[in-house]
């Protein structure tokens, strides 16, 4: 785990309340960052003691850049959205376990919902380099919230759902998966807890799969036990033992 200042290269609105930020990573060893791990961002204001956990959307080893996509939800992300190129953020990372990449997997399903979509893109790029067939199913609230579709289309076939039906198919990604016959060996997903639970119920025992949980966090480094999740092997910390857990591992009661 490293801590350093990173310079903002770009901070651009890409959908309603949603921004893509590129950060220059001169001091970080980006080879330690794997898809699914996250960084903890310090908001440069003494009123905000807790860092904000954000996944990596893209890791550009050649340009020494990382990209994140974040949604403005509260005060911390609102302050981030007002920052300009040239300003700096203090970053702690990489944190958490990444998505395990299986050598024998020939085809994968990437299933993302809302702010859970970003970490699946870097994963998809790495899988594409290995010749894996990729299908993405991405869910959003409405047409104004949709982002990164063109990028996911470079990986393979993409299905999109919106709750109000204003873009793609009406409903959730589960509705798409119930209708479409998508062939895949391994599932990778990140999104709201209800979506992850529905995927777990649909595929556990039938497919190999990994779910990334975006639980509320405090320390983000395993010290405060403030992000516990119940698993079949007892309580685990999402920030340190996760955020990625295998299908069937988490207990939702
Ligand atoms: C592993 C992980 C990866 C994430 N990746 C992304 C991403 O790629 N893009 C994105 O838009 N969002 C992501 N999130 C959610 C993001 O961390 C929260 O939306 C953000 O922290 C909200 O901060 P805030 O100050 O705007 O909100 P506030 O509600 O003001 O935050 C108050 C406190 O609660 C914490 N908090 C609030 N909501 C969440 C949440 N959903 N998850 C964790 N902590 C939260 C904040 O970090 C802060 O400490 C991720 C969360 C986790 C745990
Ligand atoms: S947030 Fe402190 S242990 Fe996970």
Q: Which of 208, 213, 216 is nearest to 243 (CA)?
A: 213
Radius of gyration of the chain (CA): 17
- Long-range pairs of 125-130 with CB within 8 A, sequence gap ≥ 24: 125/58, 125/155, 126/35, 126/101, 127/101, 127/155, 128/155, 128/156, 130/101
Which pLDDT value is given to residue 245? 96
Contact 8/23 with Cβ under 8 angstroms? yes
Which pLDDT value is given to residue 47? 65
Distance (angstroms) between ligand 1 centre and the Cα of 111 equals: 20
Distance (angstroms) between ligand 2 centre and the Cα of 136 equals: 30
Distance (angstroms) between ligand 1 centre and the Cα of 221 equals: 15
Residue 153 CB burial class (10 angstroms; 0-12, 13-18, ≥19): exposed
Contact 144/214 with Cβ under 8 angstroms? no
Instruction: Choose the residue to mutate in 213, 220, 236 for probing ligand 2, maximizing ligand atoms within 8 Å of C-beta.
Output: 220
Q: Which ligand is nearest to the CA of 57?
A: 1
What is the residue with the minimal CA distance to atom 49 of ligand 1?
A: 50
What is the residue with the minimal CA distance to atom 46 of ligand 1?
A: 52
Task: Return the C-alpha torsion angle 190, 194, 198, 204, nearest 10.
Answer: 60
Q: How far apart are CA 96 and CA 33, in angstroms?
A: 10
CB 35 less than 6 A from any atom of ligand 2: no
CB 222 less than 6 A from any atom of ligand 2: yes
Of the options 3.40.50.140, 3.40.1190.20, 3.50.50.60, 3.40.50.80, the CATH number for the domain spanning 107-246: 3.40.50.80
CB 209 less than 6 A from any atom of ligand 1: no
CATH 3.40.50.80, the chain: domain bounds: 107-246
Which parts of the chain have pLDDT scores under 70?
45-48
Distance (angstroms) between ligand 2 centre and the Cα of 96 equals: 11
The pTM assigned to this predicted structure is: 0.95
Q: How far apart are CA 128 and CA 107, in angstroms?
A: 10
CATH 2.40.30.10, the chain: domain bounds: 2-95
Instruction: Choose the residue to mutate in 94, 123, 214, 245 for probing ligand 1, maximizing ligand atoms within 8 Å of C-beta.
Output: 214
Q: How far apart are CA 5 and CA 243, in angstroms?
A: 24
CB 50 less than 6 A from any atom of ligand 2: no
Which pLDDT value is given to residue 26? 82
Distance (angstroms) between ligand 2 centre and the Cα of 228 equals: 8
Q: Cα-flanking dihedrals φ and ψ of residue 144, to 5°? A: -70, -20
CATH topology of domain 2-95: Elongation Factor Tu (Ef-tu); domain 3 (2.40.30)
Distance (angstroms) between ligand 2 centre and the Cα of 225 equals: 5
Distance (angstroms) between ligand 2 centre and the Cα of 107 equals: 34
Helix (H, G, I), strand (E, B) or coil at 37: coil
Nearest ligand 2 atom to alpha carbon 222? 3
CB 235 less than 6 A from any atom of ligand 2: no
């Amino acid at each position: 785990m490293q801590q350093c200042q990173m310079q903002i290269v770009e901070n651009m609105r890409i959908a309603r309340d949603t921004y893509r930020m590129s950060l220059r990573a001169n001091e970080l060893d980006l080879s330690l960052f794997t898809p699914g791990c996250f960084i903890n961002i310090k908001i440069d204001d003494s009123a905000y003691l807790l860092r904000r956990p954000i996944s990596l959307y893209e890791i550009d080893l050649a340009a020494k850049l990382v990209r994140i996509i974040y949604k403005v939800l509260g005060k911390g992300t609102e302050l981030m959205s007002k920052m300009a190129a040239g300003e700096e953020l203090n970053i702690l990372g990489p944190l958490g376990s990444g998505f395990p990449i299986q050598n024998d997997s020939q085809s994968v399903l990437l299933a993302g919902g809302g702010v859970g979509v970003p970490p699946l893109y870097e994963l998809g790029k790495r899988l594409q380099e290995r010749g894996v067939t990729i299908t993405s199913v991405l869910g959003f609230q409405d047409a104004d919230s949709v982002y990164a579709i063109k990028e996911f289309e470079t990986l393979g076939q993409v299905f999109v759902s919106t709750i109000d039906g204003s873009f793609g198919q009406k409903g959730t990604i589960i509705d798409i998966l119930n209708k479409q016959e998508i062939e895949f060996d391994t599932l990778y997903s990140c999104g709201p807890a209800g979506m992850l639970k529905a995927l777990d119920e649909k595929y556990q025992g039938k497919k190999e799969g990994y779910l990334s949980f975006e639980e509320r966090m405090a320390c983000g480094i395993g010290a405060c036990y403030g992000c516990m999740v119940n698993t079949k092997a007892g309580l685990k910390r999402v920030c340190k033992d996760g955020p990625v857990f295998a299908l069937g591992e988490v207990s939702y009661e």
